Amino acid sequence: MMYQVPTPLPGEHAISIVYRWFRASHYSTLESLIKVKKYNSKPDSPRRLWMPLYQDLALAFSSKYSLESFICKFTNINDYSLFLNESIFDGSGIKAILEKLSAFKFNNALNVSQDKHWRYCPICAHEDEQKYGTTYLHVSHQCFYKRVCSKHNVLLSQIKTYGFTLPPNDSVPIFAEQVDIDKDAALSGWVIDLKELPKEERKVRAFSLLHQKICIYLYDRKNSYQVQRVQYMQNILAKHFNSSVYPHYFEWGKLVSGHYPLNSVVGLMRLLEPEIHFHPMIYLMLIDVFLKRDELDMSMQYKLNMSNVKRELQPVVNAFDIDDLKEQAA
């Protein structure tokens, strides 16, 4: 168990608490302390939802938090499990679930270089230093769907130093453009709405609506209508994912219609298979491109057919007209 652990600061991430605790030790780097203590942990990415040292950290606050509530409050586990049904972990205990989720391999699909760096707001860092005597990492800044500090409307900066460290307090802030602020608000709004749905139903309901909007269930190369719909849909996705604000959140190879995953109806529809687990940002982008908030609300009026493997909803929304798809793909 860790002793003399510092009190968490408002909205502080667990790894930041660990670093402030480490600074009172005689070790030169956090990584060297982790190695000596044999924690087998790598504090290199916000996707490291579970590290063995978090258990000792949680024990230091056990009078206030259980391990589960500690991880939920001080990491971004709820973001990464947004479209995961915990039943895939076969009723494992919380520690086993955390270990499996931390090692969870999301399918890539877009050659994504994702979640590589811890993020911070330069203005928050300066204010934190003045108010608390230290900068620290905020949980809210590590959300994969956040690029803008909601408090100051500046772009989040990345910590790219070798070895883990806290944010610097002298970085120059870059104020976000309105398009960035609007997209951040839209993505955050989707996440809030989705989290209000039962976890086991989020993905199924959203995908059912996407299937209804896209309306591609069969693909016959001799059917010119079906071929057109698939081609238009591939062009729409390539257009949005390459030419919008989305690439600011991740780095990926150029998405081209006719190349994986838009190389066929199979590749296209694989993105909407409930059993496949791509990175949640990919799903969030699909939802943001094709759905409206009230459509998700409308889907809650109907019960899911739990006996059906695909559990499709009753028709809730109208499919895109072929002319609408043609216009969007232009």
- The residue segments making up the domain with residue 29 are 14-108
- pLDDT of 61 above 60: yes
Q: Are 268 and 262 spatial neighbours (Cβ–Cβ below 8 Å)? A: yes
Residue 74 pLDDT: 94
Query: pLDDT band at 246, cuts 50/70/90?
Result: confident
| Cβ neighbourhood burial of 228 (10 Å; 0-12, 13-18, 19+) | middle
- pLDDT of 148 above 90: yes
Q: Mean pLDDT lowest for which of 154-163, 249-258, 298-307? A: 249-258
Cβ neighbours around 102 below 10 Å, total: 17
Q: Which of 108, 134, 150 is the last residue of a domain?
A: 108
Place of tokens 């009230």: 294
Pairwise CA distance, residues 39 & 276, whole Å: 32
pLDDT digits (tens, 9 = 90+) for 299-320: 888 877 655 545 567 788 888 8
Q: Which of 87, 108, 129 is the last residue of a domain?
A: 108
Quick one: average pLDDT of 118-145? 96
- pLDDT of 44 above 90: no
Please tell me whether residues 168 and 89 are part of one structural domain: no
Please tell me whether residues 148 and 229 are part of one structural domain: no
- pLDDT of 273 above 90: no
Pairwise CA distance, residues 66 & 61, whole Å: 8
Quick one: average pLDDT of 109-116? 60
Residue 77 pLDDT: 87
| Cβ neighbourhood burial of 179 (10 Å; 0-12, 13-18, 19+) | exposed
Tokens of 178: 């309105």
Query: pLDDT band at 157, cuts 50/70/90?
Result: very high
Query: pLDDT band at 35, cuts 50/70/90?
Result: confident
- pLDDT of 189 above 70: yes
Please tell me whether residues 278 and 232 are part of one structural domain: yes
Please tell me whether residues 124 and 96 are part of one structural domain: no
Please tell me whether residues 266 and 301 are part of one structural domain: yes
Please tell me whether residues 198 and 267 are part of one structural domain: yes
Residue 309 pLDDT: 47
Please tell me whether residues 272 and 222 are part of one structural domain: yes
Please tell me whether residues 87 and 129 are part of one structural domain: no
> Closest by alpha carbon to 58, among 136, 100, 2, 118?
2
* Residue/partner pairs of 96-102 with CB below 8 Å, 24 or more apart: 98/49, 98/50, 98/71, 99/50, 101/49, 101/50, 101/77, 102/47, 102/48, 102/49, 102/50, 102/51
Residue 231 pLDDT: 80
Pairwise CA distance, residues 240 & 21, whole Å: 44
Note whether residue 160 is domain-resident.
yes
Query: pLDDT band at 187, cuts 50/70/90?
Result: very high
Q: Can you give the pTM of this predicted structure?
A: 0.86
More confident residue, 6 or 250: 6
Cβ neighbours around 280 below 10 Å, total: 20
User: What DSSP string runs through 206-240?
Assistant: HHHHHHHHH------TT-HHHHHHHHHHHHHHHHH
Q: Which of 46, 78, 108 is the last residue of a domain?
A: 108
Please tell me whether residues 254 and 285 are part of one structural domain: yes
pLDDT digits (tens, 9 = 90+) for 77-97: 889 889 886 665 555 567 777
Note whether residue 185 is domain-resident.
no
Q: Which residues sit opposite 12 in a β-bridge?
A: 138
Q: What proportion of the chain, given as a percentage, has pLDDT over 70?
A: 81
Please tell me whether residues 21 and 45 are part of one structural domain: yes
Mean pLDDT taken over the chain: 81
Residue 90 pLDDT: 56
Quick one: average pLDDT of 110-129? 84
Note whether residue 8 is domain-resident.
no
Q: Are 104 and 111 spatial neighbours (Cβ–Cβ below 8 Å)? A: no
Q: Are 111 and 259 spatial neighbours (Cβ–Cβ below 8 Å)? A: no
Please tell me whether residues 75 and 150 are part of one structural domain: no
> Closest by alpha carbon to 225, among 291, 315, 321?
321
Please tell me whether residues 125 and 91 are part of one structural domain: no
Whether the ω angle into residue 261 lies within 30 degrees of 0, i.e. cis, is yes
- pLDDT of 169 above 60: yes
Domain total in the chain:
3
